């Protein structure tokens, strides 16, 4: 098999896990390619001696049977942005903290790699969102696996967000922001601001206000093939748009359009691992603290 590795470049103490994965894969005669930034981190900053079959820059036209993301959920999201429309399945190895999407723990690396090489895994198709800002050229990658959020830029006044869904007016939110999340992202930022948990592959997105100035505004779940359009008003005449945490400033009056992307992000899951198991283990879903 041909593998491409991406990783966290801020966790020096945990870089040994990358060397371990590389050695395991090369021992089985697999091809190994490494993302350019991660390669320089491992060799120049960590002093590791590794001999991959190639180094891959984000803009290169590359292909592989599987990508391996070594880090936390943030690293997984960056890996998904590198992979983009290429359709390469991504396996997440968790060397971070929560690691909701990266469900292979360091102590499971050997068994996980053997399972992958034996074909004992599944690939889940996860919906991805695309954002367009009329009249503004987005500098960041315009696709999100987790969420797209519009947020106030300063620390004072709220913003007004006129929201339409499937061409129909929904409401105008007076709030600090608005989060539009996929089921994958429903356990991330959206959850922290009161959004619902959605099971992957349910064909839905959640629209959740951030600190709304109203008691009767609640999150709403809609179909993911419906277009969501936003028009933002702000006293500072600008606002932030955050795409899986990558943020930039937009001018007031910029019309934001969010729709499902024409491709999915493909996530590798080992056999026997279910979304509900992850909810219980990592989010302590249903835990009774009285016990």
Nearest Cα to 25, choosing from 88, 77, 68, 75?
68
Q: How many Å apart are CA 139 and CA 151, to the nearest integer?
A: 17
Q: How many Å apart are CA 260 and CA 70, to the nearest integer?
A: 27
Evaluate whether 269 touches 121 at the Cβ level (below 8 Å). yes
Evaluate whether 3 touches 32 at the Cβ level (below 8 Å). yes
The helix/strand/coil state of 235 is coil
Contacting residues for 118 by C-beta, under 8 A, at least 6 apart: none
Q: How many Å apart are CA 205 and CA 183, to the nearest integer?
A: 6
User: Which two structure tokens, joined as six digits, stand for 229?
Assistant: 């359009």
Q: Which residues are catalytic?
A: 73
> What's the half-sphere exposure (Cβ side, CA atoms, 13 Å) at 154?
9
User: Which two structure tokens, joined as six digits, stand for 204?
Assistant: 């839905």
Q: 253 exposed, middle or buried (CB, 10 Å; 0-12, 13-18, 19+)?
A: middle
Quickly count: other Cβ atoms within 10 Å of residue 153's Cβ: 16
User: Which two structure tokens, joined as six digits, stand for 71?
Assistant: 């880090």
Q: How many Å apart are CA 177 and CA 179, to the nearest integer?
A: 7
Q: 187 exposed, middle or buried (CB, 10 Å; 0-12, 13-18, 19+)?
A: buried
């Amino acid at each position: 098999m041909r593998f491409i590795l991406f990783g966290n470049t801020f966790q020096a103490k945990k870089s040994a896990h990358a060397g371990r994965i590389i050695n395991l894969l090369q021992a089985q005669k697999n091809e190994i390619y490494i993302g350019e930034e991660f390669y320089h981190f491992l060799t120049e900053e960590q002093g590791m001696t590794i001999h991959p079959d190639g180094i891959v820059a984000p803009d290169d036209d590359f292909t592989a049977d599987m990508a391996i993301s070594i880090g936390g959920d943030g690293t997984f999201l960056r890996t998904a942005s590198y992979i983009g429309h290429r359709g390469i399945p991504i396996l997440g190895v968790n060397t971070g903290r929560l690691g909701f999407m990266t469900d292979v723990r360091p102590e499971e690396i050997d068994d996980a790699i053997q399972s992958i090489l034996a074909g004992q895994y599944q690939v889940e198709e996860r919906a991805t969102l695309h954002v367009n800002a009329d009249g503004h050229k987005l500098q960041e990658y315009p696709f999100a696996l987790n969420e797209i959020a519009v947020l106030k830029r300063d620390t004072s006044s709220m913003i007004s967000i006129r929201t339409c869904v499937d061409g129909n007016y929904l409401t105008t939110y007076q709030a600090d922001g608005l989060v539009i999340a996929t089921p994958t992202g429903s356990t991330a930022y959206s959850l922290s601001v009161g959004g619902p948990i959605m099971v992957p592959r349910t064909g839905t997105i959640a629209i959740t206000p951030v600190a709304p100035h109203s008691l009767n505004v609640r999150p709403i779940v809609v179909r993911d093939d419906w277009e969501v359009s936003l028009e933002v008003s702000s006293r500072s005449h600008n606002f932030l748009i955050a795409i899986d945490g990558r943020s930039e400033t937009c001018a007031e009056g910029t019309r934001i359009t969010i729709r499902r992307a024409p491709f999915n992000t493909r996530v590798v899951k080992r056999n026997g691992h279910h979304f509900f198991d992850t909810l219980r283990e990592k989010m302590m879903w249903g835990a009774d603290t009285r016990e």
